[in-house]
Structure 1
Amino acid sequence: MEVLNESALLNVSQNHATRKDFLSIIKAGIASVDAYTLVRKILNYDGAKVHVGNSIWHRKGRVFVLGAGKVAHHMASACVDEIEDCTGVVLCPVSGSHGNVKFLRCEHPLAGENNLKNTETLIDILRSASQDDLVLFMISGGASAMLAAPLDGLSIDEKNAIVRKLMLSGADIKELNTVRKHLSRIKGGKAALLTQARILGLVLSDVPEGSVSDIGSGPTAPDWTKKEDAIDIMKRYGIWENLKGNTKKIIESAEETPKFDNPCFRTVRNYIIGDCTKMAQACAQRAEELGYEVHILTTALDAEARESGKLFAEILNQTYIKSQRRLFVAAGETTVNVRGNGRGGRNLEVVMGFLKKLNVKDGVILAFATDGKDGTTPWAGAFGDANTIACANKNALSINDFLSANNSMEFFEKTGDFITVNDTRTNVGDLIIFGYR
């Protein structure tokens, strides 16, 4: 991963060295969860047997590579480079191919017509695979939106409306995916019902402390949620009572998702190959090499964004010791309750919350979306420190006003502290580091 505006971010009057260290630390974290590299490490083919973790498949038939997610194409490319004659399709943000595996472009975070068409293509391949075949199923964050096969009778617009309202209401990723499973014909383990082939699922997790069932809405995993759970979540956020009567009936009458005792899972194995815990540990290792005392606060962050930022600033303020190097690491995924009409992202709001409470001039925060796109912005995240505060004061930028409008993008556009990157080749949630030197 390359930080495209690194020189501008380091052209500051204060905290230059800390910012430089922090960029080195996040690069180490991102490299540790590179999707292509992780698949190459776990997948091995010797011409007769496919090895994935402790699973061995003695080849009898075809090898299909299927999947969905923001980095599914990188994962699929690793499969092709290991097993040259594999074939299949993955649903991802780009169009193209690698070997005989096609990349089918899909929309995110809300499904479009391409998603519907491409998901049916994937379903057709699943149904065509025999018991002698192997399906390598790639799953990463974004799969929930890209795999679009609504319940019979439920339109994509109706499904999207429910998901959009949950997002705007601040529902967390587990709540979102619980509802998605019970609105779908492929999520919540239903992909395993569609094929006779053996499935080996390779999963890059973007869900803090999530099980395979949580990630990408678990198309190949037994589902631990029930239809009633999804309905309760919709009721909690004031959505259920506003649905059409027919929509309610479709959801209520849908077949339950397959559970752990379903026979379809006898020939399915799933492996989580990377997550934010692995990334946080790599960040800690790099920070220690740079002389920092490191504290990993959490790898299951799921609080409101700006409130998280305030808490992080209070931690820094209360633990500050001059002339020491100290770093705090938090990973997971915050939420935002959208009230305004501005553009912004979770990580930008974390930084703004931090700036509201920061009273240590040496204190620095970097909040980063590991997929390289924070919210509705084209950026990955932002720095926040005394330089940011000085620029805001000089230009009469009110943090409170920008937060009230959920307009964090314009704030950082004016301060210049946003971070722009090229392809990160991963998606494991959010990474937040803060501290001083």
Structure 2
Amino acid sequence: MSNKTLLNGVFNQLLEEITPEKLVAESCHLDENTFTVLDKTYDLDAYKNIYLLGSGKAVIPMAEEVARLLKPFLKKTLIIGPYDTDKTFDNGTYMQSTHPLPSLKSIDSARALQEMLQQLTEDDLFIYVLSGGNSALVELPEEGISLNEFQEVTRLMLHSGMPIEKMNSVRKHLSQVKGGKLAQQTKAKGVVLVLSDVIGDDLYAIGSGPFYCDQTSFSDAEDALNTYGVYDKMPESIQTFFKEGRLGIHAETPKKPYEHIEHHIVGSNSIVLEKAQQLLQKEGIATSIIDEPLQGDTSQITKHLLKFTHSHQERTHAYIFGGEATVVVKGEGKGGRNQHLCLNILTQCYLSCDITFLSAATDGVDGNSNAAGALIDTHSLVDAKARHIDPQHYLDSFDSNSFFEQTGELLITGPTHNNLLDIMIMLIEPNPTQRETNG
């Protein structure tokens, strides 16, 4: 079995191990009338009514598992996701919204959640399943900001290379439902089950923290927009809104967590890496997890990975990285951060060892393509040039997907209805000459 075949198989097995329903099932249990989430218990008899709410890319399988556990107790369900589905919920409503750009569907979804939460009393309990993608799926701009203006800011940020936490600081200040503002709509007890799509599992950032709170200010958000060259390109009305925010004309986001709402992280990138390590070790591959997450521009990550590989080429070993790269898009091609990273490595990889490298998104959707990522090895560059396919041309055109479509090195899984950041696996083998020398 080739190393590419091995890593491809491991990645597909991994996606089966980290399904949202499995992660919820591993974290949540029901014993008669006691609902346990990790190490916290909730007496369901203590509440008048129990509701199931949620939003995000993983909302359907997460909600299905909660509904399976709590079916006799649930009064009503309302969930929002990006995918079309034929799944149904008893006394429930599924609203399909949009991602990565908010739309009228996003506004309708936000208003539906607001109305539902406002109806709940202190005697009620709601369980909210939250995963990545929420920031676009559920949206209601602050008064005076139009949907078109909000979309334009989102589009500019997505193409600027701005990290997700910086983007979320902006969204929270332009939104009526981010940064803890949705929590202000209810007095009911809340339990939020979270699949983390941010580095460090920061509750302030996941899904833009609709039920948590916010550590950032109007000034922080404005600084982020300026740093990534977005501020001056924004609609004038939004520039004015931020200026007024800094002057105290608009209320700041909530700064303290709410006592009546508790959050539990049931899935994260660290769990993804641990399960990947177990799968590789079952295949007899010595494997290490690199704790420092990969983040930042793909060009910088490429340099880091090649430097790392150069200093770790003495033995056969697999190294697993987590995180999420960014790409400042300057072309009209098709691709995503993972494919762009793989192509970047191909154009600069001049090593005296054999490598096999996989980089993929756990949600199965890398950028504007139909692929999760790509899988390359030491021979990829030679094979491409033999077929007169110039990697530098596709790199400069930001068209990595077209390159890997021709070389047959795309990882295509379809949407996984999950979102736990990205995984990168670097499998290093000394070349034959080195093996003889080391032996």
Mapped contact 1:310–1:355 kept (Cα < 8 A): no
Mapped contact 1:130–1:196 kept (Cα < 8 A): yes
Describe the SS at the equivalent of 1:389.
Answer: helix
Shift of 1:430: 0.8
Describe the SS at the equivalent of 2:325.
Answer: coil
Identify the residue that residue 251 of structure 2 maps to in structure 1: 255
2:385 equivalent to 1:393:
yes
Identify the residue that residue 292 of structure 1 maps to in structure 2: 285
Identify the residue that residue 266 of structure 2 maps to in structure 1: 273
Describe the SS at the equivalent of 2:136.
Answer: helix
2:145 equivalent to 1:154:
yes
Paired residue type of 2:408? G
2:14 equivalent to 1:25:
no
TM-score (norm: length of structure 2): 0.90
- 1:36-115 paired onto structure 2 within 5 Å: 36-53=21-38, 54-59=40-45, 60-85=47-72, 86=74, 87-95=76-84, 96=86, 97-115=88-106
Moved more, 363-372 or 83-92: 83-92
CA distance change for structure 1 residues 239 and 317 in 2, over 3 Å: closer, same or farther? closer
User: Per-residue CA shift, 1:117-174, capped at 9, x if unaligned?
Assistant: 1221111111111111111111111011111111112111111111211121110011
Shift of 1:79: 1.0
User: Per-residue CA shift, 1:307-354, capped at 9, x if unaligned?
Assistant: 323432343244223xx5310111110000111111111100111122
Identify the residue that residue 230 of structure 1 maps to in structure 2: 221
Paired residue type of 2:94? F
C-alpha distance in 2 between matches for 1:305 and 1:241: 25
CA distance change for structure 1 residues 181 and 434 in 2, over 3 Å: closer, same or farther? same
User: Per-residue CA shift, 1:249-300, capped at 9, x if unaligned?
Assistant: 434233211122x6xx111100111111111111112222222222222452
User: Out of 216, 224, 245, which is 2:207 matched to?
Assistant: 216
Moved more, 176-185 or 385-394: 385-394
Identify the residue that residue 138 of structure 1 maps to in structure 2: 129
Paired residue type of 1:164? R
Q: Count how many residue pairs are aligned between Structure 1 and Structure 2.
A: 417
C-alpha distance in 2 between matches for 1:317 and 1:340: 31
2:120 equivalent to 1:123:
no
Q: State the Cα RMSD in Å.
A: 1.9
2:400 equivalent to 1:408:
yes
Shift of 1:243: 4.0
C-alpha distance in 2 between matches for 1:156 and 1:175: 20
Moved more, 159-168 or 18-27: 18-27
C-alpha distance in 2 between matches for 1:171 and 1:235: 11
Identify the residue that residue 372 of structure 1 maps to in structure 2: 364
Mapped contact 2:8–2:375 kept (Cα < 8 A): no
Moved more, 385-394 or 60-69: 385-394
User: Per-residue CA shift, 1:343-400, capped at 9, x if unaligned?
Assistant: 1111001111221233356311111110001101101111111342233112222222
Paired residue type of 1:23? N
Mapped contact 2:287–2:319 kept (Cα < 8 A): yes
CA distance change for structure 1 residues 317 and 357 in 2, over 3 Å: closer, same or farther? farther
TM-score (norm: length of structure 1): 0.90
Shift of 1:205: 0.5
Q: Percent identity?
A: 27
Moved more, 279-288 or 17-26: 17-26
In structure 1, list runs of 5 or more residues that go unmatched: 1-15
Larger relative contact order (Cα-Cα within 8 Å, sequence gap ≥ 6): 1
In structure 2, list runs of 5 or more residues that go unmatched: 430-439
Shift of 1:113: 1.3
C-alpha distance in 2 between matches for 1:219 and 1:284: 33
C-alpha distance in 2 between matches for 1:386 and 1:246: 51
Shift of 1:244: 4.6
Shift of 1:423: 4.4
